[in-house]
Amino acid sequence: MTHASQTPPVRGYLTGPVWGILLIGAGYMAALLAGWPQYGRDLLVGAQAAHDDRGHDGEAGLHADSSPSPLTVLPFAILLAAIAILPLVPSLAHWWERNSSKLLVALSLAAITLAYYTLFHSHPVELHFPAHAVVAPAASGPSWGLAQAVLTNALLSEYVPFIVLLFALYTITGGVRIEGDLVATPLVNTAFIGIGALAASFIGTTGAAMLLIRPLIDTNSERRRTAHTIVFFIFLVCNCGGCLLPIGDPPLFLGYLEGVDFLWTTSLWRQWLFTNGALLAIYWAWDTFFAYPREAAGDIARDERLASRIRISGLWPNAALLVGVIAAVALFDPAKAIPGTSWHPWIFLREIVLLGLVAISLLLGSPAIRLKNAFGYTAIIEVAALFIGIFICMQPALALLHEHGDSLGLSSPRSFFWATGTLSSVLDNAPTYMVFFKAAQSLPSNGVTMADVEVGRLAGISLGAVFLGAMTYIGNGPNFMVKAIAEQSGLKMPSFFGYMLYSFGVLLPVFAVMSYLFL
């Protein structure tokens, strides 16, 4: 079947989400007429002003005895176990491949978490959206307000901004095609991954990963030993490359919103250079001395025969739209006035703008390019299905960390690096970053500070959140997306535990040396 004959259904497949975006936009306009986004914005700005008047010590909080039971972490642990184990069980692997099955498991475990807060939790819960508040349990009967607060924190404060940003970067970069089949030598692959690691700090780890994973797969399509190449791509492009600017990775952007200077993260260039340089050197040695020599001679000859130059298409309008994504994320934060004005954006205006940029990309971009990219929504739906459960089920774990974080005995930059990184391996690294950021704010400082955090500790928290998100498939959103795209392309990727053999064997020694030298 020719591309021309496939274009009309692809056009319909791409414009279908546009109608959904238009309905969301219409709903937002109705909410604006009712004054809800403005009211939420005003609550947030008013709470910030009151907080500034009181100072950090005046923030209303909870007592330590309001912690949820440690047993409430079980649904989260079971969800992580399901992600790791079910693909390995022959009788369940095919069932688990379906995104509907993942969503069913995720929502079932999330329902258990919400049921605990409704029926058994007898202490107040902190609400973070749109402004900080404390929600008390019901005097008798089910505490629906507690469950609502937990759900609001998980979905409106964390999940919606997270998934909309990933969706925007995924969809817009899916309209750009870097086409060509370079000779897949170790040097070419190393250069490919290195360019992606550099780009990650400027267009985000998700944007860089979605832009470059397909041409990397095409370049290596004639080779048989490719799993290690995709794994190192996840290490560097999806994670370790993204620490030089706040737009590189979500936790750094949260730090920027909390008052960290936009360019402060560039001070981490030595840690960035050492870590990414060491990983690239390890990859080059692995591919040069182990993987490439074991390729069949016929595959190498076919790779050289089919080689072609790199061509880039789809830059219009998508390159401009990617700039728009960066601008929207940087400017439309309701907690901050737009530079040069006193106007704070309305709640969720940023997400509406991002969805609008997606609609423009789908309407004005080339369907033929997306067809060549084998663009589809399966990968982002998989992330959305799993992470809705992850964000809800991890709320008790985050509450426990938030209330007991300052009693963990952390003080040195190195201890913050490993503590933040360990949890970022299995929790989403953005809220984990915030837990330790707040814990560091409560500690006395012995030197220069940034946003009321000693800069050494801030460096440890930032690097731990970004770098150790590479330790598992669920440590950072792009990790799972790249795995899904690779598997859709016919590549056999390591299992959850198989991937961890790579990360424990390669990443941990590099991180240990980096922390010893620089923290």
Domain membership of residue 471 (yes or no) is no
Q: What is the pLDDT of residue 8?
A: 44
> Distance (Å, rounded) from C-alpha 81 to C-alpha 312?
41
Domain membership of residue 29 (yes or no) is yes
Q: Which of 14-28, 46-60, 415-429 has the lowest mean pLDDT?
A: 46-60
Q: Closest Cα to residue 470, out of 483, 457, 459, 458?
A: 483
pLDDT tens-digit map of 226-282: 999 999 999 999 999 999 988 888 789 778 767 788 789 999 999 999 999 999 999
Q: In the chain, pLDDT over 70 holds for what percent of residues? A: 94
pLDDT tens-digit map of 466-494: 999 999 998 887 898 899 889 988 899 99
pLDDT tens-digit map of 418-472: 999 998 888 767 777 877 887 787 778 888 888 889 999 999 999 999 999 999 9
> Distance (Å, rounded) from C-alpha 246 to C-alpha 266?
9
Domain membership of residue 12 (yes or no) is yes
Structure tokens at 58: 């005046």
Mean pLDDT of the chain: 89
> Distance (Å, rounded) from C-alpha 201 to C-alpha 430?
16
pTM for this one?
0.84
Q: What is the pLDDT of residue 12?
A: 61
Q: Could you give the number of structural domains in the chain?
A: 1
Structure tokens at 185: 């030598």
Helix or strand holding residue 177 (H, E): strand 177-179
Q: What is the pLDDT of residue 5?
A: 37
Domain membership of residue 327 (yes or no) is yes
Q: What is the pLDDT of residue 58?
A: 47
Helix or strand holding residue 450 (H, E): strand 449-450
Q: Determine phi and psi for 398, rounding to 5 degrees.
A: -65, -40
Domain membership of residue 372 (yes or no) is no
Taking CB atoms within 8 Å and a gap of at least 24, the contacts of 250-254 are: 250/162, 250/165, 250/429, 250/430, 251/424, 251/429, 251/430, 251/432, 251/433, 251/434, 251/462, 251/465, 251/466, 252/433, 252/462, 252/465, 252/466, 253/329, 254/430, 254/433, 254/434, 254/437
pLDDT tens-digit map of 113-133: 999 999 999 999 989 899 889
Domain membership of residue 413 (yes or no) is no
Residue 475 has what DSSP assignment?
Answer: S
CB atoms within 10 A of CB 219: 25
Q: Closest Cα to residue 79, out of 49, 101, 50?
A: 101
Strand partners, 450: 453
Which domain covers residue 339, as residue numbers?
A: 1-34+316-365
Domain membership of residue 360 (yes or no) is yes
CB atoms within 10 A of CB 297: 7
CB contact at 8 A, 351 and 329: no
Q: Which of 44-53, 181-190, 371-380 has the lowest mean pLDDT?
A: 44-53
Question: Is 453 in a helix, a strand, or coil?
Answer: strand
Domain membership of residue 476 (yes or no) is no
**Matching residue, tokens 């490719």:** 226
